[in-house]
Amino acid sequence: MKQLTMKSVDLTQKNIDKIAELFPNVITESRAEHGKITRAIDFDLLKQELSAVLVEGEKERYQLTWPGKKQAILNANTPIDKTLRPVKENSVDWDNTQNLYIEGDNLEVLKLLQESYLNKIKCIYIDPPYNTGKDFIYKDDFKEPADEYLEESGQVDEEGCRLFQNTESNGRFHSDWLTNMYSRLKIARNLLSDNGAIFISIDDNEMANLKKICDEIFGATNFVANLVWANKEGGGGSDSKYFRVKHEYILCYAKSIDNLYIKGVGITNEERYTMQDEYVKRRGKYYLQKLNQASIQYSSSLDYPITAPDGSKIMPAIGSKQACWRWSEAKVRWGIENGFIVFKKDNQGNWQVYSKQYMNVDNNDKPIVRTNRPLSLIEEYSSTQASKRLESIFGSKVFDYSKPYELIMYLLSLVTEDEDIILDFFSGSSTTAHAVIHLNAEDGGKRRFIMVQLDEETDENSEAYKAGYKNICEIGKERIRRAAKKIKEETGADIDYGFRVFRVDSSNMKDVYYTPDMLKKDDLIDLISNIKEDRTGEDLLIQVMLELGLELSLPMETKQIEGKTVHYVAGNSLIACFDDYVPESVIKQIAAEQPLRVVFRDSSFEDDSARINVEELFKMLSPGTEIQVL
Q: What is the mean pLDDT of the segment spanning 512-535?
A: 69
Residue 33, classed as helix, strand or coil, is coil
**Alpha-helix runs per DSSP H in 239-353:** 329-337
Q: How many domains does the chain fold into?
A: 4
Count of C-beta atoms within a 10 Å radius of residue 340: 19
Please measure the distance between the N-terminal and C-terminal CA atoms of the chain and give it in whole angstroms: 61
**Residue 501: what pLDDT?**
98
Q: What is the mean pLDDT of the segment spanning 240-244?
A: 78
Question: Would 318 be classed as within a structural domain?
Answer: yes
Range of the domain at 496: 77-149+159-222+243-254+374-504
Query: DSSP of 479-542, one letter per residue?
Result: HHHHHHHHHHHHH---S---BEEEEEEE-SB-HHHH-GGG--GGGGGGGG-SB-TT--HHHHHH
**Residue 608: what pLDDT?**
85
pLDDT digits (tens, 9 = 90+) for 290-339: 898 765 567 788 889 999 999 999 999 877 677 889 899 999 999 999 89
Query: DSSP of 115-127, one letter per residue?
Result: TTTTTTEEEEEE-
- Between 368 and 273, the more confident residue is 273
Evaluate if pTM is beyond 0.95.
no
pLDDT confidence band for 242 (50 / 70 / 90): confident
Worst-scoring range by mean pLDDT, 209-223, 386-400, 409-423? 386-400
Angstrom distance (rounded) from CA 401 to CA 394: 15
Residues 493 and 551 in one domain: no
Q: Are 620 and 592 in contact (CB under 8 A)?
A: no
Question: Would 363 be classed as within a structural domain?
Answer: no
Question: Would 512 be classed as within a structural domain?
Answer: no
Residues 286 and 325 in one domain: yes
Total number of residues shown for the chain: 630
Count of C-beta atoms within a 10 Å radius of residue 289: 12
**Residue 404: what pLDDT?**
94
Angstrom distance (rounded) from CA 498 to CA 448: 10
Count of C-beta atoms within a 10 Å radius of residue 438: 25
Q: What is the mean pLDDT of the segment spanning 261-285?
A: 72
Angstrom distance (rounded) from CA 620 to CA 614: 10
- Between 182 and 267, the more confident residue is 182
What is the C-alpha radius of gyration for the chain, rounded to an integer number of angstroms? 28
Domain at 381, CATH number: 3.40.50.150
Q: What is the mean pLDDT of the segment spanning 381-385?
A: 87
Residues 333 and 380 in one domain: no
Residues 108 and 210 in one domain: yes
Question: Would 265 be classed as within a structural domain?
Answer: no
**Residue 361: what pLDDT?**
66
Q: Strand 306-307 to strand 313-314: parallel, antiparallel, or no bridges (unpaired)?
A: antiparallel
The answer to whether residue 537 scores a pLDDT higher than 60 is yes
Angstrom distance (rounded) from CA 478 to CA 500: 13
Question: Would 287 be classed as within a structural domain?
Answer: yes
Residues 96 and 36 in one domain: no
Nearest to 186 by CA among 311, 94, 76, 87: 76
Count of C-beta atoms within a 10 Å radius of residue 623: 9
Question: Would 235 be classed as within a structural domain?
Answer: no
Residues 470 and 553 in one domain: no
Residues 337 and 483 in one domain: no
Residues 197 and 329 in one domain: no
Residues 322 and 181 in one domain: no
504: β partners: 84
**Residue 308: what pLDDT?**
94
Question: Would 576 be classed as within a structural domain?
Answer: yes
Question: Would 4 be classed as within a structural domain?
Answer: no
Residue 310, classed as helix, strand or coil, is coil
The answer to whether residue 149 scores a pLDDT higher than 50 is no
237's torsion region: left (phi>0), alpha (psi -120 to 50) or beta? left
**Residue 153: what pLDDT?**
38
Residues 467 and 393 in one domain: yes
Could you give the strand order of the β-sheet that contains 574-577, starting from the edge strand earlier in sequence? 556-561, 564-569, 574-577, 597-600, 626-629
Residues 394 and 477 in one domain: yes
Residues 183 and 309 in one domain: no
Worst-scoring range by mean pLDDT, 59-68, 457-466, 528-537? 59-68
pLDDT digits (tens, 9 = 90+) for 106-137: 999 999 999 999 999 999 999 999 887 666 55
- Stated as kind and residue range, the H or E segment containing 587 is helix 584-592
**Residue 414: what pLDDT?**
93
The answer to whether residue 614 scores a pLDDT higher than 70 is yes
**Angle (deg, nearest 10), helices 472-491 and 383-394:** 90
**Residue 294: what pLDDT?**
64
pLDDT confidence band for 172 (50 / 70 / 90): very low
- Between 349 and 450, the more confident residue is 450
pLDDT confidence band for 363 (50 / 70 / 90): low
pLDDT averaged over every residue in the chain: 85
16: β partners: none
Q: 358, 382, 415 — which closes off a domain?
A: 358
Angstrom distance (rounded) from CA 453 to CA 429: 9
Q: What is the mean pLDDT of the segment spanning 568-578?
A: 96
Worst-scoring range by mean pLDDT, 21-25, 357-361, 605-609? 357-361
pLDDT digits (tens, 9 = 90+) for 63-88: 888 888 988 998 888 888 899 999 99
**Residue 246: what pLDDT?**
87
Burial string for 144-154 (b: 16+ CB within 10 Å, else e) reads: eebeebbeeee
- Stated as kind and residue range, the H or E segment containing 196 is strand 192-202
